[in-house]
Amino acid sequence: MLTIENLHVRVAGKEILKGISLTVNPGEVHAIMGPNGAGKSTLGNVLAGREGYEVTQGTIEFGGKPLLELEPEERAAAGVFLAFQYPVEIPGVNNTYFLRAALNAQRKQRGEAELDSMQFLKLVREKLAVLHLKDELLHRAVNEGFSGGEKKRNEIFQMALLEPKLAILDETDSGLDIDALKMVADGVNAMRAPERAFVVITHYQRLLDYIVPDVVHVLADGRIVESGDKSLAHRLEEHGYAWIAERKLAGAA
Amino acid sequence: MDASLIDAFGTGDAREREESWRYSKAALRALSQQDFTEADEQAPLSPALRAQFEWPQTQGRRLVFVNGAYAPACSDTSGIGDALTIAQAVDRRTLLTIAAGFGGTLHLVYANVPSAGATRWQASSEIRVLGGSAHVVEQHVGEVGADVLGALVSQFQIDAGARVQITTLSDLPDSVSLYRRTQAALADDAVFGGAHAILGGRLQRFDIGIALAGAKARFDSRGVFALRGRQHADVHLDVRHVARDTACDIVWRGVADQRARGIFHGAITVAAGADGADAQLSNKNLLLSPHAEIDTQPVLEIYADEVKAAHGATVGQLDERALFYLRSRGLPLEEARRLLIGAFCRSVFADVTEAALRERIETLLDARVLAGGGGA
């Protein structure tokens, strides 16, 4: 589904990703862990198509097609979704209106029929229930005045509504209390399916107790330095990221 | 009243020297090089022009002015009753007196109808509100054609305890230039609120002069100019707090695309002795093209003690983070831009309580600002 090969990315003239290769198959959940500044969020942003990230080398294929040639909205229509680390507040833009416009824009691009407001509201109610989000949030402006936890749950709600093929969760767990974390995890787990893949970017192993990954990668200094099964996350939690750095040094020596 | 206004405006000689015209000098000069003849006040109105102002909601309460002159044949005053008196004087001068029992909306329409060559008109209205509450919708429309230059002075006298809300909607073709000067004097406890949309036009100048002369008088002003092409709008507010415990709250926004030019000047003066004044001014602007320009100048002068005052002005571009957020959810770039620009403009009209009128303004904003999407 997603094949990243030897990806090098610069931000503001500084090389952040230094040759990443990663293959994600349908149905899999990949966790990307790593210390601050390792390039985790850069990877998420490059996949979603944010400006300001210069790919100097390497390729990304999604569904057999080159992803980097697509505009952000084309990537969304193709099935890429990024749950933002810092969801943006957009005053004056109604949440429901925005979500319906987004869903219909995607459907239109895929040549599917657009949903009318009745069909859309029915879909919204189904998805809201899973995330325990209040109806009232839908009538407000996008993320405006939402608490940190509400913003993150709103991201997962959007994901549930848009039903992407590949969902990238960028530190969705940061700033969440244990209840909100469980709700987010429930939302994600409810969406796990043989045709859908997840890339879960996180700093802590805690989230991975609830969203159990198939593969765990450790990203340090712009490279994947270690990959393994879910037990890798536990070992990291025990030893800390310094342990990885030491192993890396040992390997290089 | 002020018969020289249009001359000064048309030739630019007198006012060009004034500081208040500094950003509009070039636009004025271009106008002053044209020869304007008197506009035809008998000019017929096309069905398309009529359709712009014949709203079902204001049927029976509509006064239409053709090139500045009151045109009873085009107006519909069947539902106005006794609470409004209309008097005509020379020089296209109209006197309106609104009594306490009026209520509801009065729709004033100024139609700019071109002739073969460039034409001009000047008119004035004096509106006295004796009490109660009145809502005035002032609408400026125009036919595409040869240049028209109009000037309108509106003088409001708002008696003690009266409340007046004015909504102005000026949506003009690029061949029409309009100079409006709205002045109001507020007595004790009087309230004057305004919501203004300035769209299109070659040059639109709008001066608002307010004297908060009575204790606890209050002035609220909301407005947007949304410009594209080579449109030019110049808005000047001049609010004077004279009496005690007076308040003003000014929120204006501007959007300029392509090579458009916008100017906002908001001056608030709190006179000596006007203690307890509360003066708020906010002006935010959005530049959608590297060739567009907006100049904003808030001016606050305070000569009294115990005053609460705040002002802020910004000129910026569309929020790239918000744009990416919307696109990452599947909205095409143009649609994402429309959504953000529309939200920026519309927020100003949230207080317009008549839903039909608000929707009308919003639809016009969407159509005028976003036609063709802009693009840098």
List pLDDT tens digits, range B180-238.
999 999 999 999 999 999 999 999 999 999 999 999 999 999 999 999 999 999 999 99
User: What whole-number distance in Å separates Cα of residue B174 and Cα of residue A20?
Assistant: 55
Task: Give residue for tokens 């403009």.
Answer: B345
Query: Which residues pair with residue B222 across a beta bridge?
Result: B195, B251
Q: pLDDT per residue over A18-53, tens digit each?
A: 999 999 999 999 999 998 889 999 999 999 999 999
Tokens standing for residue B30: 């271009």
**Residue B341 falls inside a structural domain:** no
Q: What mean pLDDT is predicted for residues B161-190? A: 96
Domain tally, chain B: 1
Kindly identify which residue of chain B lies nearest to residue A158, measuring between CA atoms: B329
Kindly identify which residue of chain B lies nearest to residue A46, measuring between CA atoms: B328
Query: Which residues pair with residue B141 across a beta bridge?
Result: B111
Among B321, B332, B335, select the one facing A88 at the smallest CB separation.
B321
Indicate if the pLDDT at residue B372 is higher than 50: no
**Residue B329 falls inside a structural domain:** no
**Residue B331 falls inside a structural domain:** no
pTM for the structure as a whole? 0.87
Residue B104's pLDDT band (cuts 50, 70, 90) = confident
Indicate if the pLDDT at residue A250 is higher than 70: no
List chain A residues with CB under 8 Å of B329: 76, 98-99, 102, 158, 162
**Residue B46 falls inside a structural domain:** yes
Q: How many CB pairs under 8 A join A and B?
A: 76
Indicate if the pLDDT at residue B136 is higher than 80: yes
Give, in order, the Cα–Cα distances in Å from B277 to each of A178, B76, B218, B272. 49, 41, 10, 11
Burial zone of B375 (CB within 10 Å; 0-12 exposed, 13-18 middle, 19+ buried):
exposed
Q: CB distance from B304 to chain A under 8 Å?
A: no
Residue B288's pLDDT band (cuts 50, 70, 90) = very high
pLDDT computed for residue B9 by the predictor: 55
Among B319, B328, B343, select the one facing A76 at the smallest CB separation.
B328
A212 three-class SS: coil
pLDDT computed for residue A155 by the predictor: 94
pLDDT computed for residue B341 by the predictor: 93
* CB crowding A228-238: b at 16 or more within 10 Å, else e: eebebbeebee
Q: What mean pLDDT is predicted for residues B340-350? A: 90
List chain A residues with CB under 8 Å of B321: 88
Q: What mean pLDDT is predicted for residues B282-288? A: 96
Give, in order, the Cα–Cα distances in Å from B131 to each of B43, B108, B195. 36, 20, 21
Query: Which residues pair with residue A53 across a beta bridge?
Result: A11
Window 20-39 of B: residues touching A by CB (8 A cutoff) are none
**Residue B358 falls inside a structural domain:** no
Are A101 and B325 an interchain contact pair (Cβ–Cβ within 8 Å)? no
pLDDT computed for residue B25 by the predictor: 82
The count of other CB atoms within 10 Å of the CB of residue A21 is 13
User: Nearest-CA distance from A69 to chain B in Å?
Assistant: 15
Are B324 and A50 an interchain contact pair (Cβ–Cβ within 8 Å)? yes
Kindly identify which residue of chain B lies nearest to residue A82, measuring between CA atoms: B328
Is there a contact between A7 and A60 (Cβ–Cβ < 8 Å)? yes
**Residue B222 falls inside a structural domain:** yes
List chain B residues with CB under 8 Å of A48: 324, 328
**Residue B275 falls inside a structural domain:** yes
Q: What mean pLDDT is predicted for residues B344-363? A: 88
Are B330 and A109 an interchain contact pair (Cβ–Cβ within 8 Å)? yes
A31 three-class SS: strand
| Average pLDDT over all residues of chain A | 92
Are A162 and B330 an interchain contact pair (Cβ–Cβ within 8 Å)? yes
Which of A41, A45, A73 is the best mutation test for B, with the most CBs of B within 10 A? A73
| Bigger pLDDT: B231 vs A236 | B231
Q: Domain of B306?
A: 5-320
The count of other CB atoms within 10 Å of the CB of residue B107 is 24
User: What whole-number distance in Å separates Cα of residue B92 and Cα of residue B181?
Assistant: 15
Q: What mean pLDDT is predicted for residues A116-136? A: 86
Among A51, A106, A142, select the one facing B330 at the smallest CB separation.
A106
